[in-house]
Amino acid sequence: MSTFGSLYRVTTFGESHCKAVGVIIDGCPPGLPLTENDVQPQLSRRRPGQSELTTPRDEKDRVTILSGTEMGFTLGTPIAMMVPNEDQRPHDYGEMDLYPRPSHADYTYLEKYGIKAGSGGGRSSARETIGRVAASAVAEKYITTVHGIEIVAFVASVGNVSMMPFDDPNGEFPEDPSKELEWMDSWNAWWKKLDTVTRRDVDSNEVRCPDEKAAQAMRKRIVRAKEAQDSIGGTVVCVIRKLPTGLGEPCFDKLEAKLAHAMLSIPATKSFEIGSGLAGTTIPGHIHNDQFVNGENGKLRTTTNFSGGIQGGISNGENVYFKVGFKSVATISQAQPTAKYDGSAGVLEAKGRHDPCVLPRAVPIVESMATLVVMEALMQQNGRKLTADALVATGIQIPARLSGLKSGIPSTH
């Protein structure tokens, strides 16, 4: 479906070569200061034509708010936003009438609907994500204004080039005991990076990798793919900071499950790892367990963060971080032997304008989907808390054994 969320409900519309793409938001809180200037920065980070590492399609992606605001404030009614497609070239896709592009969605869309978009990828195109980014910019203003939450994503690897601090790029536990201390130092360095990295750091180069040495190597790898009329994939890491405890809904709507759902809905994604991810399968339990210590304001903290800020599907107050894998772009200009729709053999030389690597432009999209998940989780938890506080106001007390405290007191959540 084209709708994401239930309380903060986002419905995107448009195809890659139609007149416009956009979004309708239902459930935005009233009274939020909002203009196009709040939405445009993330759209500009996502737009094509930013550098030689991206598609040359020249779209400005200027957003217009059509409804849901007045005098610069949200009304609580549906917000509609639109971005025109100004540089579409449907004539570049004539061969798509004969060939389904390998590893693209042409064939599967035709099998599902009995009809497909005749140019570009239609709804499977990354142009669809414009609506997601616009909707998330509204949500981001709310979660930063009210909760101070920070969400930063960056390119962590391109092909085999990685900025990870580990000898093993996946951070797997070493078999040699003499290397354990160095391995733990690498994880501590990684968590420190996640504590401090900013979007300004990320945008300091066109690759959007906050490690300049790694960024230069990544750039060379992308250029090599482009010159070969090929493409290359990689990973994006995202960190969510200052997230309140208690977000996430057991059992089927755990916070990491909702994040995985959101990330794997992005075009070209192939994998999702939370916290230590697959590396966690190699780490002994006595090391992987995040031990609790007394923190500020009476809240517990953990000495390590292999969990990635989520335990039991619920946020624990530490940084939430995850990694998303993106495949190499499916549409390339190399001649590829493949079959036509009628089953006969042929050779496809795809035309059109395409990214040699989606990673630099995927960064704001990953941030956007994380923002939508956080917004929904906050609204769910805030609704639960208001309902529970109404019970507390009647004088009901929770037994000490259930509250985790030494004596029964009213719940404060």
Rounded alpha-carbon distances, angstroms, from residue 171 to 165, 185, 190, 216, 376: 8, 11, 10, 22, 31
Q: How far apart are CA 379 and CA 1, in angstroms?
A: 22
Handedness of CA 248, 373, 274, 245 (dihedral sign): negative
Kindly give the residue spans of alpha helices, DSSP state H, lying in 393-405. Answer: 400-403
Catalytic residue among 17, 61, 211, 290: 17
Q: How far apart are CA 131 and CA 144, in angstroms?
A: 20
Q: How far apart are CA 54 and CA 48, in angstroms?
A: 6
Angle between helices 359-392 and 36-46 (to 10 degrees): 140
User: Is 261 in the active site?
Assistant: no
- The encoded tokens of residue 204 equal 């300091």
Q: How far is it between the farthest Cα atoms of the chain? A: 77
Residue 246's nearest CA partner among 236, 257, 234, 255 is 255
Catalytic residue among 61, 92, 104, 290: 104
Catalytic residue among 106, 201, 355, 413: 355
Q: Which residues are CB-contacts of 411 (< 8 A; sequence separation ≥ 6)?
A: 388, 391, 392, 398, 403
User: Is 61 in the active site?
Assistant: no
User: Is 355 in the active site?
Assistant: yes
**Residue 56: what residue type?**
P
**What is the distance, to the nearest Å, from the Cα of residue 128 to the centroid of all Cα atoms in its chain?**
14
Q: Enumerate the active-site residues.
A: 17, 104, 355
